[in-house]
Amino acid sequence: MKKKTIYEINSLYRDNFRVTGYEFGKGKKSVCIVGSIRGNEIQQLYTCSQLVKRLKKMEEEGKLKKGHKILVVPSINPYSMNIKKRFWSTDNTDINRMFPGYSLGETTQRIAAGVFEVIKDYEYGMQFASFYMPGTFTPHIRMMKAGFENVELAKEFGMPYVVLRNTRPYDTTTLNYNWQVWETNAFSIYTTTTAEVDKESAGMAIRSILTFLSKEGIVEYHGHDGYQSLVVEDTDMIPVRTKVAGIFESEVKVGAEVYKGQVLAKVIDPYEGEVTEVLTAPVDGMVFFAHNDPLTYADTAVFKLVAGEAL
């Protein structure tokens, strides 16, 4: 294992800003794995740290195949992580909306450009991603329909689901999209949480990556092959939205099978304590996403269901 600084900016008032990478093996640039880009992505950082630990042991045991280089970048935004701020600490910009970057631009554009220059030529790119809404997910692989996606390749991870979604205009400045433009097979990996550690889903993500690398002849790994992935279009998921704001009291968890009419959650008046809304399942299915914040706004998608006929 080689620990190296892949990008650095001088600082006037504190230690320099550094992006650290861990390199395994020698040969062609086969796999790059990126953890947290935002400052609250603790689960993504933790999962990367455990992957570094696992790959280090496998390299010592001679289980990495010759001719392949693996790069793991646990965090691209350590400054914001240090102060628990989701976006860049000084101007609140999102590094994952700055790719492929601009070396003469604003700070976050320069960080994106410097990092992308190092990681853009890998055959496979994997990012531990997070969602913009507070909540938990069923672990899955997510891919943009940018014209470069390879669904059969995504199934090799053995995750329960492969989710496809249409590309939006702002996606063109994300790491995943630009990886694809530069002919990297890019995958976003979602575990259950973001701001807190979930060891079980982190372990599932690590096993899925090692399963993929084994099938591609990059590592020697004899773990469980995982699931027969179900491919789901993001637009086919059924949202359950609130009508009123208040204290959110969920009755079900992610991964639960539910039936039509089953109570999913209640919204409680924060001043008077009365139940102001009862949310029920519109169809038989499975809870794919669940809101986990104690408060909710009106017209918020607090659940996303995969309909029973898709299961």
Q: How far is CA 130 from CA 50, 193, 224, in A?
A: 18, 8, 25
pLDDT tens readout for residues 284-294: 999 999 999 99
Q: What is the pLDDT of residue 225?
A: 76
Of the residues 201, 233, 265, the one at which a domain ends = 233
Whether residue 305 is found in the same domain as residue 166? no
Whether residue 247 is found in the same domain as residue 225? no
Whether residue 191 is found in the same domain as residue 305? no
* Alpha carbon of residue 160 to chain centroid: 15
CA distance 54 to 122: 21
Q: What is the pLDDT of residue 310?
A: 61
CATH number at residue 292: 2.40.50.100
Cite the beta strand spans of the chain per DSSP E: 2-9, 17-24, 27-36, 67-75, 124-128, 135-137, 140-145, 161-166, 185-190, 230-233, 238-241, 246-250, 257-258, 263-268, 275-280, 285-291, 295-296, 301-307
- Residue numbers of the domain that contains 163: 2-233
CA distance 63 to 83: 38
Contact 256, 286 (CB under 8 A): yes
Of the residues 233, 248, 276, the one at which a domain ends = 233
**How many alpha carbons fall within 13 Å on the CB side of residue 60?**
6
Using omega within 30 degrees of 0 as the cis cutoff, is the peptide bond preceding 100 cis?
Answer: yes
Low-confidence ranges of the chain (pLDDT < 50): none
Q: What is the pLDDT of residue 174?
A: 96
Whether residue 227 is found in the same domain as residue 241? no
Of the residues 186, 208, 233, the one at which a domain ends = 233
Whether residue 204 is found in the same domain as residue 70? yes
CATH number at residue 30: 3.40.630.10
Domain count, the chain: 2
Q: How far is CA 69 from CA 22, 104, 156, 180, in A?
A: 10, 30, 20, 19
Q: What is the pLDDT of residue 210?
A: 97
Whether residue 213 is found in the same domain as residue 247? no
Query: Shortest CA distance to 178 belongs to which of 28, 19, 32, 2?
Result: 32
Whether residue 164 is found in the same domain as residue 202? yes
Whether residue 128 is found in the same domain as residue 243? no
Whether residue 190 is found in the same domain as residue 244? no
Whether residue 87 is found in the same domain as residue 194? yes
CA distance 130 to 117: 23
Q: What is the pLDDT of residue 89?
A: 85
Whether residue 19 is found in the same domain as residue 166? yes
Q: What is the pLDDT of residue 15?
A: 86
Whether residue 228 is found in the same domain as residue 242? no
